[in-house]
Amino acid sequence: MTSENLVYLIALPLFSSALLMLLGRKADKWGHVFATLISASTFVVGATEFFAMIDRPEASRAVT
C-alpha cells in the first residue's frame, strides 16, 4: 500500500530551506517562525502517517 503524503516529509523541508536561502536577509523577521512551522507540519505529516499505518491490518503495513 502506498501513501502519497510521504512525499511531504521530504518536499516541505526541501522547498522551505530553498526559499529561506533564496530570500536571505529579507526573511530575518519571519524566517525562524516559518522554519518552525514547517518543522511542525512535517512532524504532523509523519505522525498522521504513523497512526494511519497502525490502523491498517498487520499484513498490509508495509509502505512501498
pLDDT tens digits along 5-42 = 788 889 999 999 999 999 999 999 999 999 999 999 99
According to the model, what pLDDT value does residue 26 have?
A: 94
Q: What is the pTM of this model?
A: 0.77
According to the model, what pLDDT value does residue 1 have?
A: 45
Domain edges within the chain: 4-56
According to the model, what pLDDT value does residue 63 have?
A: 65
| The C-alpha cell that represents 5 in the structure block | 503524503
Gap between the Cα atoms of 51 and 18, Å rounded:
30
Based on its alpha-carbon atoms, the radius of gyration of the chain, rounded to whole angstroms, reads: 15
